[in-house]
Amino acid sequence: MKEEFKIAWRNLWRNRRRTIITGASIFFAVFFAVIMRSYQLGSYDNMINNLLESFTGYIQVQHIKFQDNPLIDNSFDYNDSLASAISEVDKVVSVTPHLESFTLASSGTQTKGVAIIAIDPVKEKDFSDPESKLVKYRITEEAVKRLKDAGSIPDNILEKVNENLGRSYSSPARIELELGLSDEDKERCMPEILKYTEVSNGFLTNDDEGILVSDKLASYLKVSIGDSVILMGQGYHGISATGIFPVRGIIKMPSPEIDNKLIIMTIPAAQKFFDAEGKITSLVVNLTDKSNRTIKTAKARINSLLTDNNTTAKTWYELNPIIYQQIQGDSQSGQAMLGVLYFIIFFGIFGTVLMMVSERKREFGVLVAIGMQKKKLKRIVAIEMFLLGAIGLVCGLLAGTPLILYFYYHPVVLKGELGNLMEDYGWDAVMPTAWFGPYFYWQAVIVALMVLLAILYPIRKIGKMKEIEALKG
């Protein structure tokens, strides 16, 4: 066996060019497939995480009618003992009460329908953490002008800043990401940029009567911190809810759709406003992971804890069936694309194998004629092919790994038209890759299968070979 291995290895390098061509075709197949799949899975993961971790949660306890009819009437009584019982359930990370509704927000002559989410400022830290989304930096025309006047920023970076005019940020990291600065530039320019773009902001205290307004909504209503917003809508059991609320802070939501219409207030303030004493519309539960098993067992446990027959636990995919189906459909079309890619690659591999067999027809004939067993010859050819496959595969995976790693930590930030388009769809305009998972190892399995399929041809050819004819060439 060792001898056969040695012969196979030498055979490979007898015709270096052929080996490299075949190896390269496998290499590229694996490389592209891995990168493509990683991007796809990564951006979906990003989308789902965006949605789950700061909005829907993995599981929500709701009034049974709330999903179909999200009115304040379909709320339920909140008690701390239920929340703490749920937080005892295995794999539950956080339990957060929410009171959600829709009202009209008005300021001056501007009026707009908005979503109200009432939170417990302390408990919310474990869930969507709105405090981290407060707008801290804003690139205004004035800020750009002052930056220019300061004169310490090179023109090319100033231009980049200017491209992002009107945008606001919750963290310096996000500015760095969108400006695409090099490490050197970062060190040199970031302090200046931060200095001139910084804005003051505030947050809610526990029983605050004020509100947080999302960034785009605030600019639509033309309000800033200290101004007041009038909210009016329908409260519990049809009572009219009207109130005037001071703006405490401006938050930047990643999804523009939400950024256009979100107002956050404290639960006590909302209960007073909607005349819904002691009521909430949902308990948002976050879990350790989003695998099917975790979600299903947690859901069953939580359901057994609910004493109010009008409430039920719903999973994130029950709450967002459209997004769930969209993700599944897209994932399948991604797999179909991969299938096509593999199909083409397979014929690439098969083509080189075909070439190899016809080139070496005479050689095989001579070997058999001087007494080599056909069985042994088949084995050598098979080993050759496997070595080739393994080299291509390993190289492909190795070449893909640093790219996946890099883009996992430094996701591509989409800018310009495409970025805006993504944001219009309500997605965060970044494209991270997925961390190494089953998809990565599956490439190995699929390529191994393709090689196996390609080997069948030379083996069959050798089996059916007539030495005399082969010798004649």
Residue 239 near other proteins by CB under 8 A: yes
Q: What is the smallest separation between the CB atom of 239 and other proteins, expressed in angstroms?
A: 7
Cβ count within 10 A of residue 429: 21
Of 331, 334, 338, 333, the residue nearest 447 (C-alpha) = 338
Residue 112 near other proteins by CB under 8 A: yes
Dihedral pair phi/psi, residue 241, rounded to 5°:
-110, 120
Dihedral pair phi/psi, residue 147, rounded to 5°:
-60, -45
Closer Cβ to other proteins, 107 or 201, answer by number: 107
Task: Mark 197-236 with x for binding to other proteins (rule: CB under 8 A) and - for no binding.
Answer: ---------------------------------x-x-x--
Task: Mark 259-278 with x for binding to other proteins (rule: CB under 8 A) and - for no binding.
Answer: ----------------x---
Closer Cβ to other proteins, 232 or 337, answer by number: 232
Q: What is the smallest separation between the CB atom of 236 and other proteins, expressed in angstroms?
A: 9
Q: Which stretch binds other proteins (CB under 8 A): 106-114, 322-330, 336-344, 365-373?
A: 106-114
- What are the beta bridge partners of residue 138? 168
* Cβ(231)–Cβ(243) below 8 Å: yes
Q: Which of 81, 152, 156, 240 binds other proteins (CB under 8 A)?
A: 240
Q: Which stretch binds other proteins (CB under 8 A): 101-109, 127-135, 251-259, 333-341?
A: 101-109
At 69 the three-state DSSP class reads: coil
- 261 vs 114, 130, 212, 271, 427, CA distance in Å? 5, 15, 11, 20, 15
Distance between CA 314 and CA 59 in Å, rounded?
5
Q: What is the smallest separation between the CB atom of 100 and other proteins, expressed in angstroms?
A: 17
Tokens encoding 19:
């080996």
Please count the residues of this chain forming the interface with other proteins, following the rule CB under 8 A: 18
* Cβ(298)–Cβ(284) below 8 Å: no
Q: What is the smallest separation between the CB atom of 273 and other proteins, expressed in angstroms?
A: 11
Name the residue with tokens 């996000």: 174
- 277 vs 26, 39, 113, 273, CA distance in Å? 66, 47, 24, 9
Closer Cβ to other proteins, 263 or 381, answer by number: 263
Q: Which stretch binds other proteins (CB under 8 A): 1-9, 26-34, 43-51, 111-119?
A: 111-119
Q: Which stretch binds other proteins (CB under 8 A): 38-46, 133-141, 238-246, 404-412?
A: 238-246
Q: What is the smallest separation between the CB atom of 159 and other proteins, expressed in angstroms?
A: 40
Closer Cβ to other proteins, 237 or 362, answer by number: 237
Using a CB cutoff of 8 Å and minimum separation of 24, what contacts does 12-21 make?
12/384, 12/387, 12/388, 15/356, 15/359, 18/352, 18/355, 18/356, 18/359, 19/388, 21/352
Q: What is the smallest separation between the CB atom of 83 and other proteins, expressed in angstroms?
A: 24
**Residues forming the site for other proteins (CB under 8 A):** 73, 104, 106, 109, 111-113, 230, 232, 234, 237-240, 242-244, 275
